[in-house]
Amino acid sequence: MMDMFKEIVNHCIRLGLDNNISTLKKFSSMFYHELDIYQIQSKYKLTAMSQACGRLSQMKDSIKKGKTVRSPFVRKPFLVSCYGFKINGMLLSIPTGNRNYVNVILNDYTTKKLSEDGIKPRSFTITPDLLSICIRKEIQEITPQNVIGIDRNLRNVTISTPTDSIMYKTGKLLSIKENSQFVRASFRRNDRRVKNKFFTQQRNRQSSRIQQFLHKISKDIVSRAKQSIAAIIFEDLKGIRKLYRKGNGQGNRFRRKLNSWSFYELQRQIQYKAAWDGIPVMFVDPKRTSKLCPICGEQIQEDRLQLRKLLCNNCGISMDRDVVASMNIAHKGWSRFCHPRGLSGEAMKGNPGNFQPVILRVDGSKLAST
Ligand SMILES: [Zn+2]
């Protein structure tokens, strides 16, 4: 069945390429009867068509982005379906026609996950040695009572929660990248195939090490947000790469370091982990976040005595600049999304005790680092 499914998908891709169609609706109305030659249940024909269309539209997107593409082709046998399958306890039953089923035994972990509250299986993908089940969970977004601001830097990620500020050191990411660059540079053999293979291996190793490192941080941040019922606020770093383009008068090493800064991966991980728990994630403009005092709102100056510290003349407090930025981001997010100005008067009337001054309680000098 998997072999046949693969053939149908490839057949569909060929048809789609010949007629320049990549939408499922058009495709199924034009070519559904061409698939009559295959002896398989019609639901699998539908999913095969949608698989083919997905690949075709992906190719179109890549062409739009200006990449060179090869026409898609499926090499390995596989089967995808979202219709008619059942999960009974430990068994996944896949219908094969004439009321016959193929049963697959699921392992303990999968059975446990599937039996959790509110989880519904939506579709499955099976290959000769792999089975993956796609699940859906219905969640209600929480109403945030606090905010957590996140400031991302090259060497650290700083968050400010309602009670304290935490700095995660990310200098290790830089050393991972440097090491892997060093290893790649030391490659000497003059064989393109071996070289390509080696480089791919090294790149995969590097990215999985970075991902693993960031997973720890993102998990911790999301669990903190869940604990304190807080929304997560990021600074919007769109267009940051433009600052470090060639010809901007910066050195090669500097540009390489900043352009390999993996700020987006942390954001991606936090976004999906937060979505799974119903925690809202929002973005604010990073402008002036490290220029104003988070306590009084006055202009803040560099501390001449200590590196990377900022001094407020009004309050007389010297604080770490990353902590200042994360507190300002949290503050911006709070006033922007959780307390829009127009409504605040009304919202206060009913529950005056509910208001919490988020920023004022933060003590900049108390810094826990992990
Ligand atoms: Zn101040």
Please tell me the distance between residue 358's alpha carbon and the centre of ligand 1 in angstroms.
Answer: 16
Please tell me the distance between residue 298's alpha carbon and the centre of ligand 1 in angstroms.
Answer: 6
- Both 217 and 326 in one domain: the answer is yes
Domain assignment present for residue 290? The answer is yes
Please tell me the distance between residue 320's alpha carbon and the centre of ligand 1 in angstroms.
Answer: 13
Question: Letter for the amino acid at 205?
Answer: R
Domain assignment present for residue 297? The answer is yes
Evaluate if pTM is beyond 0.75: no
- Both 158 and 239 in one domain: the answer is yes
The Cα angle at residue 168 between residues 164 and 170, in degrees rounded to 5: 160
What is residue 273's predicted lDDT score, i.e. its pLDDT?
92
What is residue 301's predicted lDDT score, i.e. its pLDDT?
83
Neighbours of 26 (CB within 10 A): 13
Domain assignment present for residue 77? The answer is no
- Both 263 and 331 in one domain: the answer is yes
Please tell me the distance between residue 347's alpha carbon and the centre of ligand 1 in angstroms.
Answer: 28
Please tell me the distance between residue 309's alpha carbon and the centre of ligand 1 in angstroms.
Answer: 13
Confidence of residue 221 (pLDDT cuts 50, 70, 90): very high
Domain assignment present for residue 283? The answer is yes
Please tell me the distance between residue 171's alpha carbon and the centre of ligand 1 in angstroms.
Answer: 30
Residue 79 pairs in a beta bridge with 126
- Enumerate helices (H) and strands (E) in the chain, giving the number of each: 10, 15
What is residue 65's predicted lDDT score, i.e. its pLDDT?
87
Q: To which H or E segment does residue 126 belong?
A: strand 119-127
Q: What is the DSSP letter of 107?
A: P
What is residue 340's predicted lDDT score, i.e. its pLDDT?
62
Domain assignment present for residue 70? The answer is no
Please tell me the distance between residue 141's alpha carbon and the centre of ligand 1 in angstroms.
Answer: 35
Mean pLDDT, all residues of the chain: 83
Please tell me the distance between residue 336's alpha carbon and the centre of ligand 1 in angstroms.
Answer: 21
Quote the number of domains for the chain: 3
What is residue 341's predicted lDDT score, i.e. its pLDDT?
56
- Both 342 and 237 in one domain: the answer is yes
- Both 364 and 224 in one domain: the answer is yes
Identify the residue whose tokens are 């519904």. 120
Percent of the chain with pLDDT over 90: 15
- Both 113 and 205 in one domain: the answer is no
What is residue 114's predicted lDDT score, i.e. its pLDDT?
83
- Both 18 and 122 in one domain: the answer is no
Encode pLDDT of 58-84 as tens digits: 888 899 988 888 888 888 888 888 888
Helical segments of 89-159, H only? 108-114
**Torsion over CA: 61, 66, 72, 75 (sign):** negative
- Both 15 and 37 in one domain: the answer is yes
Please check the confidence at residue 367 and state whether its pLDDT lies above 70: no
- Both 154 and 126 in one domain: the answer is no
Domain assignment present for residue 8? The answer is yes
For residue 38 the two structure tokens come to 């295959």
Q: How far is CA 145 from the centre of its chain?
A: 24
Neighbours of ion ligand 1 (CB under 5 A): 293, 295-296, 312, 314-315
Please check the confidence at residue 216 and state whether its pLDDT lies above 70: yes
| The total number of residues written for the chain in this structure | 370
Please tell me the distance between residue 313's alpha carbon and the centre of ligand 1 in angstroms.
Answer: 7
What are the φ/ψ torsions at residue 89 (nearest 5 degrees)? 60, -110
- Both 133 and 228 in one domain: the answer is no
- Both 217 and 359 in one domain: the answer is yes
Q: Is 249 exposed, middle or buried (0-12, 13-18, 19+ CB in 10 A)?
A: exposed
Encode pLDDT of 7-39 as tens digits: 888 888 888 888 887 788 888 888 888 888 888
Identify the residue whose tokens are 């390429």. 17
Domain assignment present for residue 73? The answer is no
Range of the domain at 318: 146-369
Higher pLDDT pick, 369 / 102: 102
End of a domain among 36, 64, 92?
Answer: 64
Please tell me the distance between residue 144's alpha carbon and the centre of ligand 1 in angstroms.
Answer: 27
The Cα angle at residue 298 between residues 295 and 300, in degrees rounded to 5: 90
Domain assignment present for residue 325? The answer is yes
Higher pLDDT pick, 164 / 370: 164
